[in-house]
Amino acid sequence: MALYQMLILAIVQGLTEFLPISSSGHLVLTGKVMCWQDQGLAIDVAVHVGTLFAVALYFWRDIWMMMIGFGRLVTGRGGPQTKVLISVVVGTIPVVIVGFLAKDYVAMAFRDVEIIAWTTIGFGILLWVADRVGMTVWRVEHLGVASALMIGVSQVLALVPGTSRSGITMTSARLLGLERSEAARFSMLLSIPTIMGAGLLTGLDIYEQGNLNLGADVVLAAGMSFVAGLIAIALMMRWLRHAGFGPFVIYRLLLGAFLLYWVYGYGLSEGTSPFCG
């Protein structure tokens, strides 16, 4: 893979992983539009590791709080730290089960550009509705087990490219009454075990294939996705403290409409692209 291709994919992954606009959808689209071959498992792991470090660095206080919560849980005590930890664990269970059982099927069955276009539009509208009707009274510490499980179940939908893991979890959190920044906060905390699990599964695939060569390009990809991810998280969290999800919804609608026009007008889903030779 050429260096510029790897850098573009790393930046796309880093910027879109945490924004409610679908990182998997953008990665599929980038490859199809540019007519690139699959980037390979090593690069997949690298960009996941980069984004994992980005979210872990930004939310290090929350991670430390959950570690304290684990200690309190072991000693039979409760508290807000324990509640957050339990909510993240409960919210992660559904996607772990479904992702492990159906990851190969989902990865091959839903990578069509037409599907990405419709999910981009549909779940963008749903995010707008949730942001309009949802109350803004709760923090992550107020989540109960049932609410965390509902958000976790919705996260399963993100296995379909175009849905957006962060987008659907923020949508569910807003419907349940979490403040905008708190909905994003819980979504980011849920991303830590989710990204870690996805990276581990891909790493196991690399191990089974006997391809353990990790060169400088892999390290560079991880570094670029880390920087891009950290910037995306910081900007989004700052925005959501003072405003809503409107710009992300508008972007999704415009992107989805463009893709539908391209699919039905020029056959993008069949491989036609102005970038192809």
Mean pLDDT by 10 residues, the chain (277 residues): 80 91 82 69 75 95 95 88 94 90 67 87 97 90 95 92 93 96 96 85 69 67 92 96 95 92 70 54
Question: Domain boundaries in the chain?
Answer: 3-270
Which position has the token pair 């039979």? 76
> What per-residue confidence (pLDDT) applies to 167?
96
> What per-residue confidence (pLDDT) applies to 274?
52
> What per-residue confidence (pLDDT) applies to 40?
57
221, 91 in Cβ contact below 8 A? no
> What per-residue confidence (pLDDT) applies to 31?
77
- Residue among 187, 162, 229 nearest 15 (CA): 229
Provide the whole-model pTM.
0.89
